Chains A and B, each alone.
Chain A
Amino acid sequence: MKEVEGGPSVLYIDQHLIHEVTSPVAFLGLEKRGLKVLRPEKTVATPDHNVPTINQHLSIKDELSRNQVEMLKKNCANHGIVYHGLGSEGHGVVHIIGPEMGLTKPGMTIVCGDSHTSTHGAFGAIAFGIGTSEVEMVFASQCIMQPKPKKMLISVNGKLNKGVTAKDIALYVIAQISTSGGTGHFVEFAGSAIESLSMEGRMTLCNMSIECGARGGMIAPDQTTFDYVKGRQFAPKGEEWDKALAYWKTLKSDANAVFDTVYEFDAANIEPMITFGTNPGMGIGISQYVPNSDKLTGNDKLTYEKSLKYMGYDQGDKMVGKQIDYVFVGSCTNGRIEDFRAFAQFVKGKKKADNVTAWIVPGSRAVEKQIVAEGLVEILNAAGFELRQPGCSACLAMNDDKIPEGKYSVSTSNRNFEGRQGPGARTLLASPLTAAAAAVTGKITDPREFL
């Protein structure tokens, strides 16, 4: 909108999403200044980080969590913001419900006080996570101040191998360019392997773009995008649709666009991925061995060794065959219908391993209903799995879904930081397919063996 002299640009925000954890202090700040939310109709709220994933009809047991959720509800009522409460039709993880309702559209600017806002970039939107001060800025002015990011192109060409999903592309790319490789950049994903992905897959990939340090990730909108948006609750209708579509078709980066950094990868080199360490860049192909630290020096080496110690792994260990204890399927990374279809199809006719506790958590009420409507619940139940209720759950373990200390969890979420899934928990990030293979065998297993 405007550039401050010698400073950041002022960016107008088309859609603001809020949740219970990063908004209360922003509301408080706003009230201290005697201000109201400037454009409440451009903000949508849902509680997701803190909520239990069973018995949602009961009052939340944890007092602090309950307080945060109630505070969000109250703040929304005071400021005229639409609130999708627990158990309501619109409830779910904020990054799942936005696209589902058709709030997320190509060309928009979208922010949320949550780093995985990058998810919405799958629609060709400019979407990124912000801090609480910035949430307050959007409340007060519908704008934020942002330095101009550099542009990065990551293209993945070729046909994806059997058993390789969008999650594997994400983990592969992060392993290649590291968790800081994208810092300062906005990433555009392109190439035939990316174009072949469904919207769900594209969301998974853009969701994880933050894990390479990027401000956000995006994919140019195409027919797949338009088909997904069409007919959704907040999608334009009739003549408005035609107008919007004509505009969206102009959004593609032109062929001569200049990028500050370019990476090209061959889809043929990607196999199902799994992480072995404590950041999302520490991922390898599932058939590989834990790399050794010979080439590292100084703090790099110490950090690497500290990480392996936390995980209880040794250099040179083979990943396949390692015992696991928990499986978590869900989160804004892999909590959409396609993920549960893949998981259910895989476990169909098999049985959950006895040593595994599995938490199968839909990303939203709508996903939950779809799982039921498609008869996936019966498949899951027959294989010994129970479906829980929507929320962030074990992705960050702010509710009761905590992995106990020292236990291994194969998780479809996005972060394997120390303690992310509970104090002392050991997280192995993977796709829903790889999670399914682990769930039925009780150990790390190459899903391709079953496909």
Chain B
Amino acid sequence: MSYDKFTTLTSPAVPLPIENIDTDQIIPARFLKAVERKGFGDNLFRDWRYDKSNQPISDFPLNQAKYSGKILVGGKNFGSGSSREHAAWAIYDYGFRVVVSSFFADIFQGNALNNGILPVVVSPEFLEKIFAAIAADNNSQFEVDLQNQKFTICATGESADFTINPYKKHCLTHGLDDIDYLVSMKEEIAAFEAK
């Protein structure tokens, strides 16, 4: 999938201090019927964002004008459940480029990286600090520096290092995906099959 390159980002963040946010909440199954990768952002967190009559639920953070930015901060074990990549597409399409949590489910983490979203894992304590910074000032800025693998709370200057697989970092910085790489391995694959 083509996506925009990622290097650094400074932005306020949207808090979602709920744990075990599963992919059924990120994008409910009934929105998976599309055959193209378009427009999933409208249905991001659909059932938390809108009530039965499609009216926005006012106390959900994505509906609150005071929160904005390209960073989504979630509680621990973000993205558990189904393998639907639509969850990553919806997050990207909505406009997020970074998701921060103290823990990500494996498949979601892989899907995010394959779609230009940077999952940043921080300690539970640091996660609390981020939530606290947003609570203190809704417009609080955060800096995500992929090159140096650093996440900084600008207001306090506190920062946390995060890890990312070097290959994935390379892909993200250059907007590349795995398929180009794998297709280039054609001969090695054929040799492996012949064994």
Instruction: Show the binding face of A for B, using Cβ within 8 Å.
Output: 1-2, 4-8, 10, 12, 21-22, 24-25, 28-29, 33, 35, 38, 49-50, 62, 64-65, 67-68, 71, 113-115, 129-134, 136-137, 140-145, 147, 149, 179-180, 183-184, 213, 215, 279, 298-300, 302-303, 306, 396-398, 405, 415, 417-420, 423
Contacts and interface: CB of A to CB of B under 8 A. Distances in A.
B99 to A, nearest CB: 15
Interface string B90-110: 000000000000011111001
A92 B105 CA distance: 28
Contacts of B88: 131
B114 A133 contact: yes
A397 B28 CA distance: 10
Given A29-B1, A213-B77, A279 B84 contact: no
A7 B177 CA distance: 13
A225 to B, nearest CB: 25
Contacts of A68: 33, 35
27 contacts: A4-B167, A6-B167, A7-B168, A21-B84, A28-B36, A64-B33, A68-B33, A113-B85, A130-B110, A131-B85, A133-B1, A133-B178, A141-B183, A142-B193, A143-B182, A180-B20, A183-B77, A183-B105, A213-B106, A279-B20, A298-B128, A300-B19, A306-B18, A398-B30, A417-B25, A420-B29, A423-B28
A419 B189 contact: no
B157 interface: no
B19 A133 contact: no
Interface of B: 1, 17-20, 22, 24-25, 28-30, 32-37, 47, 52, 75-77, 80-86, 88, 103-107, 110-111, 114-115, 128, 165-168, 177-179, 181-183, 185-186, 188-189, 192-193
Contacts of B84: 21-22, 131
A113 B183 contact: no
Contacts of A24: 34-36
A101 to B, nearest CB: 22
Given A299-B17, A418-B24, A398 B33 contact: yes
A1 B17 contact: no
A88 to B, nearest CB: 22
B108 to A, nearest CB: 9
B85 A10 contact: no
